[in-house]
Amino acid sequence: MTGARVELPMDYSPSSEEEFMNPLQLEYFRQRLLTWKKQILNESEATLNVLQIEPLREPDLNDRASNEAGWSIELRARDRQRKLIAKIDAALRRIDDGEYGYCEVTGEPISLRRLDARPIATMTIEAQERHERQERLSSDG
């Protein structure tokens, strides 16, 4: 595990002027990931509460079909979010292991802009594009 947690200044934003993945940057991304995870869990809990309260069996067949279609979409979205939580947890582990922010393919630093936009990123943009090209080629063949 990395060193002790640091206090983030209120208006802190990672900068390329500082050492890459210094304790402030790591704490910044840890907090972003934890906040994101909490938001997803709260949304999931709200969905469960509504599912428990609302009747799924509407007397009218059209209403029932409409409700079931809506819940099917909602449950698929929740399943995607469950997978996202696993990626968030993996990113938090990489922070603890000192591997966060580095490309899993090349070992190069992932840009701060990319990590800020997608804190669960595991590859540089270039490595991600190569990976996607290879996937397309293998699925076309």
pLDDT in tens, 95-127: 999 999 999 999 999 999 999 999 999 999 999
| CATH (one of 1.20.120.910, 3.90.1150.10, 1.10.760.10, 3.40.640.10) for 23-140 | 1.20.120.910
- Three-state helix/strand/coil letters over 54-121: CCCCCCCHHHHHHHHHHHHHHHHHHHHHHHHHHHHHHHHHHHHHCCCCECCCCCCECCHHHHHHCCCC
pLDDT of 34 above 70: yes
Domain boundaries, the chain: 23-140
pTM above 0.85, yes or no: no
Average pLDDT over residues 21-49: 91
